[in-house]
Amino acid sequence: MTSTSTAPIKVDVLGISGLQWALLDADLKVHQASAEFLANFAANQDLPLPLHQLLPTLNADQQMSLRYLQQRTQFQCVSVQGKGLHCIAAPTGNAHLPICLSLMAFDLDNRWLMELHPNYNHALYSSDQWIAHLETVIKSAPEETLNQLVSRAVHITQSQDGYLMHYNSGKRALSLTARHRIRNLESEPFSIDTCPSLAICVDESSAYICNDLDSEPLPFLTGQSVRNHLSVPVTYRGAIVGVVGVFNRDKPYTEVDAKSLMVYGTIIWHAIQLPKTLKVVAEQSRVIRQQKQQLNHSLVQLVGAIADALEVNDPYTAGHQRSVAKLAHRIGRRMGLTHHQLEGLKLGGLIHDIGKLAIPTQLLTKPSRLTDEEFDLIKTHSERGAEIIKDVEFPWPIRDMILQHHERLDGSGYPYGLKESQILIESQILAVADVSDSILSHRPYRPALGFDKLKEVLMQGRGTEFNSEAVDICLEFLCEERTQSVDCIDAIPLGKVLTLDLDATLAQAEEKMNRADLSVALVMDEDGHTVRGYITSAMLTFWHSPLLDTAAERTLDRELQHRKLHQVMKHEVPSIERCASLENASTQLQASHEHFLLVTGVNGNPVGILTWPPLAQALQDKLANNQGLTPTTSPTA
């Protein structure tokens, strides 16, 4: 390893193997070195070479300690390419080549070497500042965004100058887009093949570090004072879209700086492109939504045509499917189904009986009762309907709606006897709407059965055969439709409902009834919702003392007036539903021992008080209408 000659020698790189070592003279010139040593710096160069030319990142203190080396010493530095080097210097005892320098590369990412590398802590600090820099770039004005990107990159790396170039992959050319403190930088596009350092960034998708530009000047930075340089590619959606570069830092650039800048550049580019991407996505979503609406509209028209074709085949059910679809849609909306579900429910209702196309017409139009065998054949229309549309791709479970609309919650339905959660919620709604329209419509073998029969059927199967919520909503809708006619109670004025507590006294009841000018009041349970009985003005009069006005009589009267309502009230309240006919109300009021009827809603809640005067007036107006006479004005309750 030693030499007694100071004459320059040619080092054969291929002929030497082993560690990275070099022998230095007192002036720190390399006279002999291993191939591995020179391969890291400048292979096949003539020796001697000044050490600072091979290791330009050595600071003045490190060079001074080598020059006056008296004992073994160690220190760390960074190579021209930004790699970490652990240096060991030892005296040789040779007067001509007194210093032996050996090198060992280490990974700057290893945290246990954090303190060995002077720039590592800075790199970590820079990483922690990314969020703040990202926010600065994103919030900047559109015309300043790219300049802010470069400015933040310079700040992160503690450099003095920086630039951003766009890459045209088709022309393999770069063009300046933004700069920081750079003058006279060529803005015209240039080929990356004229600049090997940037070609490395683009072709190898890797960073380029040069801590000694004297050996490789950058042609696009002519006229600039450049001490060191770091450039990294910017990647977007798997492709190189540009190059970010920084230069002129007091300390050498490292691989850690390169990773930090590369990640920063890629993240910030995605952030810059995000609004554009969102705008494109929004436009695509609008187009897709419009196309979907057009397709749905066409689908609705097609389904409507199929429903019309079915009604031609079965004239007695003309309009049945449309009525079921309309009622099911109203029920589903009140039950809180989504807009998408409601669209499917309406379409499912329009063709829920499509399987009847496969049923002989003579059975569908038979004017007499069906035999068991004929009814069994009719019952196959659910399965046949599902078979008809099995190859049609609907965005809704239309096939299940057709197949299940005759299923019942207790398993008594057909064709499969499904129970509760096995039945689609849309099918549960269709079942209620289908039964409702069937009962209220005429059939070849019978007339319409009417609302009272429908209520009886639905309430009997509520919670067992039919969905409870769907039944309640359906009856409420149908009742509201009936009350729009003058034949119903709800079409005439009703008296107000006065409610009293169970523990109220007779005196309190009389006071409230006189103040409200009402002759009847309801006595409510503790919950305030359940009617427990009623009390009238006649009952209050009955509990007053006799005519004698003695002191004893007045004392007895006061005692009677302190009785509680629950002690004297009547429990069976005469009531009638708001959708009942005027004739039914008249009949029931005549049969009652009271002068009033409590009118209730479908759910049993009190709606109003019906007395003889408004009822008689409504009956008189109805008779006048039937005879073509002008009705009199109905009095208010």
- pLDDT at position 40 is 65
Shared domain for 228 and 263, answered yes or no, is yes
433 occurs within a structural domain:
yes
Model confidence at 143, in pLDDT bands (50, 70, 90)? low
| Same-domain pairing of 126 and 216 | yes
Domain count, the chain: 4
In this predicted structure, the answer to whether residue 124 has a pLDDT above a threshold of 50 is no
Query: How far is it, in rounded angstroms, from Cα 465 to Cα 216?
Result: 88
Mean pLDDT of 175-203: 79
Question: How confident is the model over 231-240, as pLDDT tens digits?
Answer: 889 888 778 8
pLDDT tens digits, 38-57: 776 655 567 888 887 778 77
Q: What is the pLDDT of residues 324-378, one digit of tens each?
A: 999 999 999 999 999 889 989 988 998 888 888 888 877 877 777 888 888 889 8
pLDDT of residue 458: 92
Residue 215 has pLDDT above 60, yes or no: no
**118 cis-preceded (ω within 30 degrees of 0):** no
609-618 residue pLDDT tens: 998 888 888 8
275 pLDDT band, cuts 50/70/90, is low
Residue range 516-547, pLDDT digits in tens: 888 899 999 887 778 889 999 888 877 765 54
Report the CATH number at residue 398.
1.10.3210.10
- 236-245, 249-258, 556-565: which range is least confident on average? 556-565
Q: Is residue 7 part of a domain?
A: no
With a cut of 60, say whether residue 93 has pLDDT above it. Answer: yes
Is residue 352 in a domain? yes
Report the CATH number that the domain containing residue 600 is assigned in CATH: 3.10.580.10
The answer to whether the CB of 364 falls within 8 A of the CB of 356 is: yes
Residue 347 is which amino acid? Answer: L
For residues 2 and 97, the answer to whether their CB atoms sit within 8 Å is yes
DSSP 612-635: HHHHHHHHHHHHHHHTTPPPPPPP
Local confidence band at 581 (pLDDT 50, 70, 90 cut-offs): confident
Q: Residues 354, 325: one domain?
A: yes
Residue 194 lies in a domain: yes
Rounded distance between C-alpha atoms, residue 547 and residue 539, angstroms:
16
How would DSSP label each residue in 483-516? Answer: TTSTTBGGGS--BPP-EEETT-BHHHHHHHHHHH
- Cis-peptide into 415, omega within 30 deg: yes
Q: Could you give the percent of the chain with pLDDT greater than 90?
A: 14
Taking alpha carbons only, the member of 421, 377, 384, 429 closest to residue 403 is 384
Judgement on whether residues 85 and 181 belong to the same structural domain of the protein: no
Q: Mean pLDDT for the chain?
A: 78
For position 10, what pLDDT does the model report? 33
Rounded distance between C-alpha atoms, residue 324 and residue 402, angstroms: 13
Spatial distance between the Cα atoms of 282 and 619, rounded to a whole number of angstroms: 62
93/131 same-domain check: no
For residue 294, pLDDT beyond 90 = no
Question: Are 248 and 369 part of one and the same domain?
Answer: no
* Of 252, 279, 306, the domain-final residue: 279
Query: Which DSSP category does 629 fall into?
Result: P
Q: Could you give phi then psi for residue 244, rounded to 5 degrees?
A: -105, 130
Angle among Cα 370, 372, 374 to the nearest 5 degrees reads 55
Does residue 308 sit within a domain?
Answer: no
Domain assignment of residue 290, yes or no? no
- Whether 478 and 541 share a structural domain: no
- Domain boundary pick from 222, 253, 279: 279
Same domain, residue pair 476 and 496: no
Residue type, 417: G
CB distance 430 to 401 below 8 Å: yes
Q: Give the tokens for residue 281.
A: 């996505």
Whole domain around residue 28: which residue ranges?
13-106
Tell me if 113 is assigned to some domain. no
Is residue 119 a contact partner of residue 256, using CB atoms and an 8 Å limit?
yes
Residue type, 69: L
In angstroms, rounded to a whole number, what is the distance separating the alpha carbons of residues 585 and 395?
49
Does residue 516 lie in a domain region? yes
Q: Are residues 160 and 266 in the same domain?
A: yes
SS3 22: strand
Helix (H) or strand (E) holding 309: helix 255-313
Query: Is residue 139 located within the same domain as residue 46?
Result: no
In this structure, what CATH number is given to the domain that contains residue 59?
3.30.450.20
Residue 422 carries which DSSP code? G
Domain containing 257 — which CATH number?
Answer: 3.30.450.40
- Please indicate, yes or no, whether residues 70 and 20 belong to a single structural domain of this protein: yes
- Look at the block and give the residue holding tokens 């499912």: 348
Residue 594, pLDDT > 50, answer yes
**554 has pLDDT over 60:** no
Residues 477 and 368 both lie in one domain: yes
Instruction: Show which of 44, 75, 106 is a domain's final residue.
Output: 106
Query: Buried (b) or exposed (e) across 17-27, using 16+ Cβ within 10 A?
Result: eeebbbbbbee
